[in-house]
Amino acid sequence: MKFLVLHGPNLNLLGTREPGVYGAQTLDDINQSLEKLAAGFGCSLIFFQSNSEGELINAIQGASADCDGILMNPAAYTHTSIAIRDALTAVALPCVEVHLSNIHSRESFRHKSLTAPVAIGQICGFGRDSYLLGLRALFNHVKSA
């Protein structure tokens, strides 16, 4: 089993700024934790981060060739990108949306996700654990499909 792990804009800054909101871990720390969990599941991961909407869409389209699902944090594009939602719909891969922060307890413009309705589900508010819980949920979903 192989999953694409997609990180949206500014997540490359994790661990350097706003630790009170997003935690002290870097994106590499999160990716390493995911790698460990994935190894226990016997599955492999491909990591991709971009600040560009088009590159994220290209990665989603590319995943349809060789991935069984997508674990994604579309970051601010969660709230704005019809294009990313359309790409997810087009590839029809099972997808879990995760967020470090609880988007529902923040500004009202973060309450709406355009992408969550085309995902299997959304996990938010648990920092790095959101990603780990998301991978577990995606793995279990694909395994039992």
* Residue number, 64 or 80, with CB nearest to ligand CA2: 80
22 has catalytic annotation: yes
Q: How far is CA 36 from CA 31, 33, 41, in A?
A: 9, 5, 9
CB of 57 to ligand CA2, least distance (A): 17
* Residue number, 68 or 137, with CB nearest to ligand CA2: 137
Contact 96, 105 (CB under 8 A): no
Which tokens go with 92? 């029809």
Q: How far is CA 103 from CA 89, 111, 126, in A?
A: 23, 6, 11
- List of residues contacting ligand CA2 (CB under 6 A): 10-11, 13-14, 17-18, 22, 73, 75-76, 78, 99-101, 103, 110
CB of 76 to ligand CA2, least distance (A): 4
d(CA 117, CA 139): 19
Q: Which of the following is catalytic: 7, 22, 77, 131?
A: 22
CB of 50 to ligand CA2, least distance (A): 13
Coil/strand/helix, residue 15: coil
Catalytic residues: 22, 99
